[in-house]
Each structure stands twice: as structure tokens, then as C-alpha cells.
Amino acid sequence: MHQSTPAAVDLVAEARSRGLAAYSETCPHYLTLDDSVYGSAFPEWYACCPPMRSAETVAALKDRLAAGAIHTIASDHSCYDLSQKRERTDDIRAMPHGLPGVETRMPVAFTAMMDSASGGEGRVEDFVEVFAAGPARINAVPGKGTIAAGFDADLVIFDPAEERTVDGGALHMGTDFSPFEGRTLTGWPAVVVSAGRIVVDRDGFHDPGPVGRFVARNGFREHQAATADSTPTVPATL
């Protein structure tokens, strides 16, 4: 989890070459931020574990992603606010570690993978794979990760051309900052459908009430075999 160096990804790739069921996961901040952020006016914004790496390491990690060696991108969302982080600015070891990132996961990952100005030249299908389809399959979650008959109607429709500049104070996470403050990102969600209900659109959030249900995972190997035998044509989130 949270691999931040190409060497870590290469170790997983080597294990896979020996037939092990091993997968690599990274986070949006390891694909877009480097250790120069610790010299900024607000270094506490970026206190996380693993820490940010050099620009060269970030570039090499993106190369592994483009080559298909990274299988999922997760947010590693930790919703500390600045008052909590600044309680221990005297000692980085005691400062709460973690970044808020669940709301920005889609546009940060999409920009990193697709925007040539940000060094990305990927395919939208690859983005969908690491963002939605792959995580559902790897984690053996039935009914998720694919647009096909019999799967849950949980869909995100996003605009690949929409640009927004991140304003941490305008986001909906329970914190007061974003490590991506001031960055212009593309690929923001426009419509969210949960269990067939539109819960987010241009008019805002439409609360369906407490309609969630527990979804048990399948056995890992049984799920892998079942998904390998199926032939869905469209991955989720596309």
C-alpha cells in the first residue's frame, strides 16, 4: 500500500513474475507532489507517511503507472485540520500524519495520468482501471467495478475537459485545507448515481437517506476466477 518509490513497485512486479498474487497501490499525492513542498510556507500541510519524494522519484513512479505496474490509486484520506497539525509544529514525529484527499482523488489522478502538461499521456481506460474497476476486482467486491447487467448501478459521470482550481475552503471534506491548494485540475465529477439514484448533479447533493447496505467480499481466488470468466464490456466510472 501507498507505494511512493519505483523500487517498491519493481519489487511487486518481480513477485508477480514469480506467480504471486501481489498488487501495487499508490496515492495521488505521490504522483503529483515532491519533497520541495517541505520548503514551502506551510510544510505541515504535507506531513504524511511515507513522505513526499524527490521530483526524479515522482517522475519514475509515474513511468511505472503508465507502464501498468501500478494497479490502484487510493486517496489515503486523513481528515486532520490545520489546528490539529499545528499543535505539534515543534516535532514532526508527533504531528498528525495524513492528508485530506478523497474529494480530489478523481481530478488529481486524472490530471496526473491524462494531462500532457502534467506529464501524463495515458488512456481514459487505464484511468478507469486503476480508479474503479481494478480496486473492485482486486478486493473481491461483488457487483462493483463494471457497467454490466447484474452489477450495481453505482456510476460516476465526469467531464474530462472541466478545469477547476482547488480551493481547500470550498471543498466538502471535514477539514480546512487541501495539499493541492491553487492547482488547476481536470476531470471533475458531474453526476453521481448510487444504486440507481442520482445523488449528485449540477443542482447539488440529493440525500437519499440511510439506504446503504453491507456488501461482503468474496473469497479472493474464487472472485478472481469468476471475474476472469465474465466478459463485461464497459468498466465502471467511464
- What positions carry a catalytic annotation? 76
Instruction: Provide the β-strand partners of residue 25.
Output: 72
Please give the full DSSP string across 72-129, using - where no structure is assigned: EE---B----HHHHHTTTT-TTTSPP-B--TTTHHHHHHHHHH-GGGT----HHHHHI
CA atoms within a 13 Å half-sphere pointing along the CA-CB vector of 116: 1
> Per the omega criterion (within 30 degrees of 0), is the bond before 107 cis?
no
CA triple 73-174-77, angle to 5 deg: 20
Are 179 and 152 a contacting pair, CB within 8 Å? Answer: no
Q: Which amino acid is at 169?
A: G
